[in-house]
Chains A and B, each alone.
Chain A
């Protein structure tokens, strides 16, 4: 019972005390020192924050203690710095000494101590903002330059070196939000560039000691940038002028080299380079006239090397026996042939067989002669310019006889008055009956059969005989066998006689094989290709191909080589041998003697297939008449 009453009383008292505290006063709250600052490192101020006052009036006291002494001092000045502050003046301020500062809040109930704070004045310096911020405008070659200058805060003693301040300024355009900050170091002025012309700017400066806090920004100083001509525009003008200058130079350079540039870019179209072609006529619209000039006189060209087209046929007679030949020649001359031969024109260069008539006559005569072997032989011999053996003459006669109407159609056969081959007469026969006009276009080989035996062997390699196998009935070339001439009246129409040594092979188509004729001395026609520079008449054998034209003259290959001139002023010509090819394709006679120019010599190249070089014929000058060599005058050694 007592205990319960005691507990109740105890609880009751406790309750009252608690209740009394809630409504009554209490100790003040704990104050806190917020910060202490020194503006010039000579004085400093501390501020505190009071706590709750506890309902009672509370007083605050600041006590401090210096580092090296234990004496407690109270704040000397509570008012200068405002409420809840303590200002330490110069006398009370010691640098490089720790201050232990405590604030005590006291009310009727009691006191409350704040947490102590240790400070060293050196490290709490926060100067005042710089003063007298001014902006000066100076003109530098139409450029305004702005110089911002200021003074250090008044209290800070920088002159004695006690405080070293570092400055910083910031600037912005009026109306903008972003500041442009510039550190200025320890200098008290600053130059500003690149400002807008006519703009209004704000500038502020602040400072701080080397180990301390930044000051507040100074008050804004307004200034207006004067109007000026921006340099950038002038630079652009200079650039424009420079570029225009360069452009003009380029134009001038292009103009100077316009011609070459045109050639590079647009190469000129080559104009027509046709002889006799007049562009102007074409331009004028008269195309007919323009082209007519081409077609007209210039074609066939007369200014070309006439000698290229010069075609001359020479009858080469290789008489076996000169006497016979001469005799026959005389007879021949007495004949109408002679007259006709004389009447034969010197139609050099004409590709037509102008001597058809002549040949016809001759062939007729040949026929007549041929009927009689002797006569034929004589005829042939007559025709032959060379003296030949009589049997050969017979053979020749035979050949002539068999020939019948030898078909030799060759327009280009030309018979010279002195050049005559009996075969040409024979060949002229078929000319009477030309099978086809096409034949006339072809070279005519009118050969006179020569006694082949003595001549055959040296003439050509035996191979020739074989080559001509298919086409030629019998062909002996280069051997002593008599050459057989089997002129046919077939379609071949070619009578080709194998000449003597200098006579190339004579191909006969369709020559009857059974006809064995001794090699007949035959006159061969050669075609004078041209007269070269050395006054050489290039001859080449006229080849006749019945079915197909001779593929072409082998101008350059067909000429007789002059071996030499004998004592009697005779030409020694080398017999040229025809290659097998040529024989196959275009069998023709190799010409050993050729027409002679006034002073030229005929040369015949030795065939490669020919090992033997027949002796050259001799040309008798006196027989030369009209520039043509009478092969009948030639004397061929018979091998």
Chain B
């Protein structure tokens, strides 16, 4: 009995190893990055886009919640007249207001717009969070949301930066697209008009801008990598 066990065990172990090795190799073939470098790069770019788009969608959701909550508790009158005079500090950034406009504009320009928007909102969001935490206007929920919103905006900026770099390495867009250190971005960020905005207006403006960012990213993705989920 024992004499038979050893060879049987060895055979069994060998078979298991073979199975695993085959599976591993199969998995390699089915990995994200295949043999072709171009495929692998594009696949990863689409993946990056998806992640960024999801991130921006989430950010927009938070801003939407905060805005509605703010209006519910702090502006029950819903006086629409006052809103007309509202002016976001990012108004100076030229953004396409329609589909045709967005499709007509170049990828680099669109990318830059995204970058500008994200850059313009870094400081105001942080400031808004500080204001909310200091004044205790919102409850704990609001305070956490504002902080989360600020962090997400910051991370989204970095993520978009990575996507831009990826696109530039792939040659999808030219290298003329400025980074965070571009003058336009700096100008946009330097504007201090946002300090005089009311919190309600700030939330309103950010909600819109986050929607723009999300939409622009989607357009960009479907323009660059249309075959993956567009």
Q: Are B219 and A161 in contact (CB under 8 A)?
A: yes
A71 → chain B closest CB, angstroms: 13
Q: Is A42 an interface residue (CB 8 A)?
A: yes
The interface bits of chain A over 24-45 (1 if a CB of B lies within 8 angstroms of the residue's CB, else 0) are 0000000000000000011000
Residue of B nearest to A91 (CB): B98
User: How far apart sit A120 and B88, CA to CA, in the bound complex (Å)?
Assistant: 15
Q: Are A161 and B98 in contact (CB under 8 A)?
A: no
A4 → chain B closest CB, angstroms: 49
Q: Are B212 and A96 in contact (CB under 8 A)?
A: yes
Q: Are B222 and A160 in contact (CB under 8 A)?
A: yes
Q: Are B57 and A210 in contact (CB under 8 A)?
A: yes
Q: Is A211 an interface residue (CB 8 A)?
A: yes
User: How far apart sit A100 and B103, CA to CA, in the bound complex (Å)?
Assistant: 27
Check A100/B84 contact, CB under 8 A, given A94-B97, A122-B211: yes
Residue of B nearest to A68 (CB): B91
**Residues of chain A within 8 A of B103, CB atoms compared:** 160
**Residues of chain B within 8 A of A100, CB atoms compared:** 80, 84
Q: Is A157 an interface residue (CB 8 A)?
A: yes
**Residues of chain B within 8 A of A68, CB atoms compared:** 87, 91
Give the number of residue pairs across the A-B interface with Cβ within 8 Å. 66
User: How far apart sit A97 and B98, CA to CA, in the bound complex (Å)?
Assistant: 10
Q: Is A291 an interface residue (CB 8 A)?
A: no
**Residues of chain A within 8 A of B80, CB atoms compared:** 100, 116-118
Q: Is B136 an interface residue (CB 8 A)?
A: no
Q: Is B129 an interface residue (CB 8 A)?
A: no
Q: Are B215 and A162 in contact (CB under 8 A)?
A: yes
Max chain B Cβ within 10 angstroms of own Cβ: one of A95, A97, A100, A116? A95
**Residues of chain A within 8 A of B219, CB atoms compared:** 160-162
Q: Is A90 an interface residue (CB 8 A)?
A: yes
Q: Is B102 an interface residue (CB 8 A)?
A: yes
Q: Are A94 and B84 in contact (CB under 8 A)?
A: no
Within 8 A of B (CB), among A63-114: 65, 67-68, 90, 93-98, 100
User: How far apart sit A160 and B60, CA to CA, in the bound complex (Å)?
Assistant: 20
A96 → chain B closest CB, angstroms: 5
**Residues of chain B within 8 A of A164, CB atoms compared:** 218
The interface bits of chain A over 159-177 (1 if a CB of B lies within 8 angstroms of the residue's CB, else 0) are 1111010000000000000
Check A94/B98 contact, CB under 8 A, given A160-B223, A162-B215: yes
User: How far apart sit A161 and B64, CA to CA, in the bound complex (Å)?
Assistant: 21
User: How far apart sit A504 and B100, CA to CA, in the bound complex (Å)?
Assistant: 147
**Residues of chain A within 8 A of B84, CB atoms compared:** 65, 67, 98, 100, 118
B201 → chain A closest CB, angstroms: 12
**Residues of chain B within 8 A of A116, CB atoms compared:** 80-81
Partner of A120, one of B57, B98, B208: B208
Q: Are A118 and B95 in contact (CB under 8 A)?
A: no
Within 8 A of A (CB), among B189-226: 208, 211-212, 215, 218-223, 226
**Residues of chain B within 8 A of A98, CB atoms compared:** 83-84, 86
Count of interface residues, chain B, beta-carbon cutoff 8 Å: 30
Q: Are A90 and B98 in contact (CB under 8 A)?
A: yes
Q: Is B26 an interface residue (CB 8 A)?
A: no
User: How far apart sit A164 and B103, CA to CA, in the bound complex (Å)?
Assistant: 16
Check A118/B83 contact, CB under 8 A, given A164-B218, A210-B57: yes
Residue of B nearest to A159 (CB): B230
Q: Are B60 and A42 in contact (CB under 8 A)?
A: no
B220 → chain A closest CB, angstroms: 8
Max chain A Cβ within 10 angstroms of own Cβ: one of B57, B80, B95, B220? B80
Partner of B97, one of A97, A160, A186, A211: A97
Check A95/B222 contact, CB under 8 A, given A159-B230, A160-B103: no
**Residues of chain B within 8 A of A122, CB atoms compared:** 208, 211
**Residues of chain B within 8 A of A97, CB atoms compared:** 97
User: How far apart sit A122 and B102, CA to CA, in the bound complex (Å)?
Assistant: 14
Q: Are B83 and A95 in contact (CB under 8 A)?
A: no
Q: Are B211 and A160 in contact (CB under 8 A)?
A: no
Q: Is A52 an interface residue (CB 8 A)?
A: no
User: How far apart sit A52 and B229, CA to CA, in the bound complex (Å)?
Assistant: 51
**Residues of chain B within 8 A of A532, CB atoms compared:** none
User: How far apart sit A210 and B83, CA to CA, in the bound complex (Å)?
Assistant: 25
A548 → chain B closest CB, angstroms: 77
**Residues of chain B within 8 A of A67, CB atoms compared:** 84, 86
**Residues of chain B within 8 A of A569, CB atoms compared:** none
**Residues of chain A within 8 A of B86, CB atoms compared:** 67, 98
Q: Is A158 an interface residue (CB 8 A)?
A: yes
Residue of B nearest to A186 (CB): B229
Residue of A nearest to B102 (CB): A162
Q: Are B226 and A159 in contact (CB under 8 A)?
A: yes
Partner of B98, one of A42, A65, A159: A42
**Residues of chain A within 8 A of B212, CB atoms compared:** 96
**Residues of chain B within 8 A of A159, CB atoms compared:** 222, 226, 230
Max chain A Cβ within 10 angstroms of own Cβ: one of B102, B218, B219? B218
> Would you give 25 A-B contacts (Cβ < 8 Å), ordered by A?
A42-B99, A67-B84, A68-B87, A68-B91, A95-B97, A95-B98, A96-B97, A96-B208, A96-B211, A98-B84, A120-B208, A122-B208, A160-B99, A160-B223, A160-B230, A161-B219, A161-B222, A161-B223, A162-B218, A162-B219, A164-B218, A186-B229, A211-B60, A211-B64, A211-B211
When A and B form their complex, which 4 residue pairs have the shortest distance between CB atoms, in order from nearest?
A: A161-B222, A161-B218, A94-B97, A161-B219
Q: Which residues of A contact B (CB under 8 A)?
A: 41-42, 65, 67-68, 90, 93-98, 100, 116-118, 120, 122, 157-162, 164, 186, 210-211
Given A159-B222, A162-B218, 4 extra CB contacts under 8 A: A100-B80, A100-B84, A161-B230, A210-B57
Q: Which residues of B contact A (CB under 8 A)?
A: 57, 60, 64, 80-81, 83-84, 86-87, 91, 95, 97-100, 102-103, 208, 211-212, 215, 218-223, 226, 229-230
